[in-house]
Amino acid sequence: MPDGDVGQDAPIADAAIASLREFARAGKPFFLATGFHKPHVPLTAPKKYFDMFDPAAMTLPPDFDTEPRHLPGYPADEFRQNIDLYAGRSFTVLEAREAMRAYYACMAYMDAQVGRVLDALTAAGLDRNTIVVLWGDHGWHLSEKGMWAKGTLFEVSARGPLFIADPRMRTAGTTTRRTVEYVDMYPTLTDLCGLPKPAWTEGASLRPLLENPDAAWDRPARTFAVRNWAIGRSVRTERWRYTEWDEGRGGRALFDHDNDPHEMRNLAEGEAHKQTVDAMRKLLR
């Protein structure tokens, strides 16, 4: 975009800032949802954010490929075409690095808008008694296994960002290894806000993890995707990801994230990990 273009998300930040000022004047409890578009495709942002990154410095992932390929030992439905960027064609290393640069530029642009909103929260005197949640609805492939897309059950697509800041908590800036789901967000916010939890909610409040990131937690995360009119179902614990396509008829996958964070070895078949597969199948069901 030209230097003078503020981009798609700056006006959204402007509206959020105006709302915060109104809330501060009203002096009442409030809820504000601000939905930014970036880094959604198309990967466009004001030029100054592109200038922050050198495409030659972009590091390709260990499982980089120039297009999606049905790798031996993987279910075919684990892979999808690059309809978002490359429309199914092969692409070069140079193109990959340029696309990564564009993605990072979009992230930096969106991050700057989040910063503007948070600065306005502080300027309005609301930062000391406001819970802030930043999350995205999914991850995205950046050439891992040749894909540039969401909609897979690999970790880079199924896992999304989640930050929760409650000024009453003493664990600010810490992270947790526990596995949570976005279905946990509603009961978490009702709990933190002192509101009753409706009986129909399926998730669990994350308050124990906000108070102690190392607290005991045995809830896995489940993710679903559709491919060729069949459903893929995946379950993630702190160590393992297990996936079945079409109830297993389309294949299955097991990845050990302690030893294989890039999911380059499918361990689902054979006897070596049968007990783990059986345990993960129970969690999935």
CATH of the domain at 62: 3.40.720.10
Q: Is 145 found in the same domain as 25?
A: yes
Q: Is residue 189 part of a domain?
A: no
Mean pLDDT of 83-97: 90
Q: Is 134 found in the same domain as 36?
A: yes
Mean pLDDT of 89-115: 96
Q: Is residue 183 part of a domain?
A: no
| Per-residue three-class SS string for the chain | CCCCCCCCCHHHHHHHHHHHHHHHHHCCCCCCCCCCCCCCCCCCCCHHHHCCCCHHHCCCCCCECCCCCCCCCCCHHHCCCCCCCCCCCCCCHHHHHHHHHHHHHHHHHHHHHHHHHHHHHHHCCCHHHCCEEEECCCCCCCCECCCCCCCCCCHHHHCCCEEEECCCCCCCCCCCCCCCCHHHHHHHHHHHCCCCCCCCCCCCCCHHHHHCCCCCCCCCEEEEEEECCEEEEEEECCCEEEEEEHHHCCCEEEEECCCCCCCCCCCCCCCCCHHHHHHHHHHHC
Q: Is 230 found in the same domain as 149?
A: no
The pLDDT value recorded for residue 282 is: 96
pLDDT band at 5 (very low <50, low <70, confident <90, very high): low
pLDDT band at 215 (very low <50, low <70, confident <90, very high): very high
Q: Is 163 found in the same domain as 59?
A: yes
State yes or no: pLDDT of 230 exceeds 80: yes
Q: Is 27 found in the same domain as 167?
A: yes
Mean pLDDT of 54-63: 97
Q: Is residue 250 part of a domain?
A: yes
- Among the candidates 145, 175, 205, a domain finishes at 175
Domain encompassing residue 247? 220-285
What's the CATH code of the domain at 226?
3.30.1120
Q: Is 136 found in the same domain as 235?
A: no
Q: Is 156 found in the same domain as 21?
A: yes
- Among the candidates 139, 157, 175, a domain finishes at 175
Q: Is residue 229 part of a domain?
A: yes
Number of structural domains, the chain? 2
Q: Is 229 found in the same domain as 92?
A: no
Q: Is 244 found in the same domain as 165?
A: no
State yes or no: pLDDT of 1 exceeds 70: no
